[in-house]
Amino acid sequence: MRRIISMAVLLTMIFSAACKKDKVYEDPYAGGKEPLGVTLSTEIPNPSEAAPGTVITFKGKGLLKHKDSLLFNFNGEPAEIVKVDSAGIQVKVPVTASTGVTSVTIGNQIFFGPLFKVRGNLDIDNNYKVVVGANSWVSDVYRFADGRLLLVGDFLDYERKGIVRPISRIVLTSRDGEMDRSLQSGRGADGSLNTIGALPNGKLVVGGSFASYDIHQAEMHNITILNSNGSLDSMSVNTFTDKDTVPSFNGGTDGRINRVFVYNNRITAIGYFNYYLRFVYGQSDYLQERDSLITDSTLVRQLVRFHPDGSLDSSFNYDLVRHRSFDGANGPISDAYQQPDGKIIIVGRFTRYNGQPAPYIARLNLDGSLDPGFGGSGADNDIISIRYNATTQRFVLAGNFDKFDGAAHSGLVMLKPDGTPDEQFHAATRASNERYYCAQQLSNGLIVVNGTFTSYDKVHRSGFMVLDQKGKLAPGYNNTADFSGILVRVFETINSSGQTQALIMGQFSRFNNKEISNVVRLLFK
């Protein structure tokens, strides 16, 4: 009975719905623009790649009737239209073009075409053998006398060769990037290696954020000494009950080390730390029964100098009365450079050094005291990097500042050896949300710049650009595609033809639309 009633109700509902007059709704697409009937083919154009000034033919449909209103762009840069017909469009590659997606704009509608490679004077060096790169960031490089390169960073693999034998944050390569298996690093480091330098005896000092290297577990504090073959420099010590083999460098910090410098056989480290640390061997536990490894600590902030054995050099920025370092910078130090005379220039997000004015930049004497006057009145905001070229004898600072030494300098400034701005160089004004991470001048005068920018001087450049000595985009060297990532180091070399090469390192996954991770060599033709 219930089933009969339910069926009757259902039939009534269906019948009632069918008898109602259909309601007419408003067309949601009414008033929209009629389709233009335009397509820009993604087929490979003719020619498929070319230098500025070359006429390129792209296939397309429906363009002819819009020939007087359409615009053509190479990666956002407008091009001269040479011819439009029923088969497509011919355009001339503009001087400001860079590798990227092509497009046609008609009114406010955009039609995307194929990727186009713009030829220029800058590209990946075909003689560099690296295909895949490293699987995490590469931070520094040391070059041996025979041309081989020792790379350090946070990677665990290089060229996908870490499966056979682990590669833990340090790898030796040929001059052209081929892996050299002769390095005796064993298990490598258990944390990032950020910086590397050489002692007068040929041994290497590495700093970073690690506690272990090879088989020596939890025996170091973010810095140690390696032999030239990559093995740990070790020594034997007497413990309370026995003997043990430990790192020969007994010293370190409680936080990350970003840069190390060697001068007069002493090591200066800069980073994010508050204490100098040192192991005390040969002590027993409170029951006098077994070994107890004691860590001695001393308050030392951001800057520390070591003797070759790791002991603290108390002649550098150290208060012998209070038995601690002087205050140093009142904010983070982001980068530093050591001059040939041993003086160190620091930059970052600080305004004072040892209580004295130091607006985001300071030069330190050999004893760690402030050398006043370098950089004039400094910057008005943080400086991220400082780089120097010995050939041009110029510093380049990059950061988030708008003024330097009282004058307008938008994120980039070039300094003479005495710290005064080189007025021949003047960067274009950047947007408020853009900043520069790294700017390195090469010996040919060109300046490699990395940051968060999307344009420069009203020209589309994203993340990577090359400037000339006056701060203008260098003609012929800004043809590469949009770049996403951070450059940490730019290492310059010269090939057999006398051309400039630049090994760029950092954190990135492609360059000029080629997948390659964290290290690649560029060729400046």
Number of C-beta neighbours around residue 230 at 10 A: 21
Separation of alpha carbons 296 and 306, rounded Å: 15
Model confidence at 294: pLDDT above 90: no
For residues 426-445, give the mean pLDDT. 97
pLDDT higher than threshold 60 for residue 21: no
Q: Report the pLDDT value the prediction gives residue 292, as an integer from 0 to 100.
A: 64
- The rounded distance, in Å, linking the Cα atoms of 364 and 260 is 15
d(C-alpha 134, C-alpha 129), whole Å: 13
Cβ(155)–Cβ(143) below 8 Å: no
Q: How confident is the model at residue 5 (pLDDT cuts 50, 70, 90)?
A: very low
Q: What is the mean pLDDT of residues 239-243?
A: 67
Q: Does residue 459 register a pLDDT over 60?
A: yes
Both structure tokens of 260: 């190390």
**pLDDT range class, residue 170, cuts 50, 70, 90:** very high
Cβ proximity of 215 and 186 under 8 Å: yes
Mean pLDDT throughout 479-497? 97
Query: What residue ranges do the domains of the chain occupy?
Result: 39-119, 184-326
CB-side exposure of 139: number of CA atoms within 13 Å? 22
In terms of Cβ atoms closer than 10 Å to its own Cβ (0-12, 13-18, 19+), residue 298 is: middle
Let me know: does 358 contact 347? Beta carbons within 8 Å.
Answer: no
CA distances 238 to 232, 243, 280, 284, Å, are 19, 5, 11, 12
**pLDDT band, very low/low/confident/very high, at 264 (cuts 50, 70, 90):** very high
Answer whether residue 8 shows pLDDT above 70: no
Higher pLDDT, 401 or 36: 401
Q: Which two tokens stand for residue 19?
A: 């008898």
How confident is the model at residue 196, as a pLDDT? 99
492-517 pLDDT, tens digit each? 999 999 999 999 999 999 999 999 99
Model confidence pLDDT, tens digit, residues 172-193 = 999 999 999 999 999 999 999 9
In this prediction, residue 495 carries a pLDDT of 95
Residue 30 has pLDDT above 50, yes or no: no
- Where residue 245 falls among pLDDT bands split at 50, 70, 90? confident
Mean pLDDT, the chain, whole residue set: 92
Task: Please compute the mean of the pLDDT values over residues 478-493 and round it to a whole number.
Answer: 98
CB-CB contact of 363 with 376 (8 Å)? no
If pLDDT is split at 50, 70 and 90, which confidence band does 281 have? confident
Q: What does the DSSP 8-state code read for residue 379? A: B
pLDDT tops 80 at residue 344: yes
Count of Cβ atoms closer than 10 Å to residue 98 Cβ: 26
Distance between CA atoms of 249 and 311, rounded to whole angstroms?
A: 8
Of 523, 455, 415, the residue nearest 127 (C-alpha): 523
Instruction: Read off the pLDDT of each residue in 93-106 and give the average, rounded to a whole number.
Output: 98
Query: Domain 39-119 belongs to what architecture?
Result: Sandwich (2.60)
pLDDT band at 291 (very low <50, low <70, confident <90, very high): low
Residue 32 has pLDDT above 60, yes or no: no
**How much is the pLDDT for 29?**
42
State the Cα–Cα distance between residues 516 and 391, nearest whole angstrom: 30
Residue 289 has pLDDT above 60, yes or no: no
DSSP string, 151-167: EEES-S-BTT-TTTS--
Name the pLDDT band for 164 (thresholds 50, 70, 90): confident
- Is pTM beyond 0.95? Reply is no
Instruction: Express each pLDDT in 309-342 by its tens digit.
Output: 999 999 999 999 999 999 999 999 999 999 999 9
pLDDT at residue 18 in the model: 43
